[in-house]
Amino acid sequence: MAIAITNGRVLTITRGTIEGGTVLIEDGKIKDVGKDVPIPAGAEVVDATGLWVMPGLIDAHSHMGIFGEPMVEATVDGNEMTDPVTPHVRAIDAVNPADPAFRDVLPAGITAAWTGPGSGNVIGGTGVVVKLYGRTIDEMVVPGSESMKMALGENPKRVYGSQKKLPSTRMGNAAVLRDALIKAQNYMEKIRRAEEEAEKESKEKGTKVEPKYPERDLKMEALARVLRREIRCRIHAHRADDILTAIRIAEEFNLDIAIEHATEAYKVADILAAKGVPCTVGPHDMFRSKMELENFNLANAGILAKAGVKIAIQVDAFSTTRWLPVHTGVLVRFGLPEEDAFRAVTINAAEIIGVGDRMGSLEPGKDADIALFSGHPFCSFTRCEKVFINGREVYDAVKAGAPEPGTRSCRK
């Protein structure tokens, strides 16, 4: 059955704002968006008068369902800290769809998130994009959304330095990463040569000869996808020098990267912009818990956006991802242009995590992941009234037991 969300202030993100607009949903997709959209007979009509209608928010970097809640040893599965190089481990094999974080974030209007390994290892494994509603992880995951988590800076050197193992320094971090990538290059070369020799022998014998491949290596297979630029590297880096190390290695190996956290990115904003390196910035409720956070600055996101860096906002957390809209509002207060703020939690986030063709804006053909807010989505007075994922209503504030909307909200 079709659903028509009518009479709302529709923020398409990529095609402007439509006052009194309609979003038509059919078969889990956005069918049409506009001022005078014909509504099919029998369609369910959701009256959004007085509400802001926009794409569901996206947290571009979280650990929901993999660092479980309650956070005890039995539920924490985000860092395989037995080897600094674990590209073959996959978040999809550990994410718990019954984790309470998933139900806790829906009332914030968040419909999708990238979730993946932590930063204990130099190469931590693959994370995935998940819709925040579903019975199994296979229902929730967005196919083809894998990306490789990597980390520089204090975390991996602390984990392995305490064990008297490599890496124990920033030099070691970079060396471990380069070494793993070179091994993967060698593995790919062995495969290439095996296929080349088999093709040559097939021509000589006039019959097909199967290649003599090297023994399968799951680590190298995972890194081969990175080297072929099939998946993006999400590189944890706080300090400006670590950010530049990530760029240096990416250019050596032709990697597709995004910088995660990017705490001191404002110091090298011009370099990031010139090189076209996107940043997922945050979280923004940090304190100086370690030296590489010494220069944390709430103006960072605004400086980057104004310099031309594509940014997304992250909460880097679990059920606390619910604070994504509030964090974003704080960043507007500290200089992030409002338009960039909206893009940072919708289309920019979607593009950085590799799902921009499916979500992040209200356009025909995209997934019907939609949130309805009582006022400005980044105001702490505002309430999310309804959430749709894949065209299905998955949250209604009143049905969930919230009181009827009050009169206090931030409106423009």
Beta-carbon contacts of 379 under 8 Å, excluding residues fewer than 6 positions away, are 329, 409, 410
Q: Do 132 and 1 belong together in one domain? A: no
Token pair in block for residue 191: 């495969």
Q: Do 125 and 41 belong together in one domain? A: no
**Contact (CB, 8 A) for 354 and 317:** no
Domain count, the chain: 2
Q: Do 283 and 368 belong together in one domain? A: no
Q: Do 155 and 262 belong together in one domain? A: yes
Domain range for residue 372? Answer: 1-55+361-412
Q: Which residues of 9-34 are buried (b: 16+ CB within 10 A; e: fewer)?
A: bbbbbeeeebeebbbbbbeeebbebe
Q: Residue 163, CB half-sphere, CA atoms under 13 Å: how many?
A: 13
Q: d(Cα 302, Cα 331) in Å, to the nearest integer?
A: 7
Domain end marker among 336, 359, 382 = 359
Give Cα 226 distance to the centre of its chain: 17
pLDDT in tens, the chain (412 residues): 899 999 999 999 999 999 999 999 999 999 999 999 999 999 999 999 999 999 999 999 999 999 999 989 999 999 999 999 999 999 999 999 999 999 999 999 999 999 999 999 999 999 999 999 999 999 999 999 999 999 999 999 999 999 999 999 999 999 999 999 999 999 999 999 999 999 999 999 999 999 999 999 999 999 999 999 999 999 999 999 999 999 999 999 999 999 999 999 999 999 999 999 999 999 999 889 999 999 999 999 999 999 999 999 999 988 999 999 999 999 999 999 999 999 999 999 999 999 999 999 999 999 999 999 999 999 999 999 999 999 999 999 999 988 776 545 565 5
Q: Do 138 and 273 belong together in one domain? A: yes
Q: Do 316 and 387 belong together in one domain? A: no
Q: d(Cα 387, Cα 96) in Å, to the nearest integer?
A: 21
Q: Do 325 and 406 belong together in one domain? A: no
Residues in the chain, overall count? 412
Largest CA distance in the chain: 83
Strand order in the sheet with 311-313: 57-62, 110-115, 123-131, 147-151, 233-237, 257-261, 279-281, 311-313
Q: Do 241 and 354 belong together in one domain? A: yes
- CATH number of the domain bearing residue 39: 2.30.40.10
- CATH number of the domain bearing residue 280: 3.20.20.140
Q: Do 274 and 377 belong together in one domain? A: no
Token pair in block for residue 258: 């995004």
Instruction: Give SS3 for 311.
Output: strand
Alpha helices in 144-216 (DSSP H): 154-161, 170-205
Beta-carbon contacts of 278 under 8 Å, excluding residues fewer than 6 positions away, are 258, 259, 309, 310, 311, 312, 348, 351, 352
Name residue 277's amino acid: V
**Contact (CB, 8 A) for 355 and 129:** yes
Q: Do 257 and 271 belong together in one domain? A: yes
Q: Do 46 and 145 belong together in one domain? A: no
Q: d(Cα 395, Cα 109) in Å, to the nearest integer?
A: 9
pTM of the model: 0.96
Nearest to 62 by CA among 121, 143, 132, 15: 132
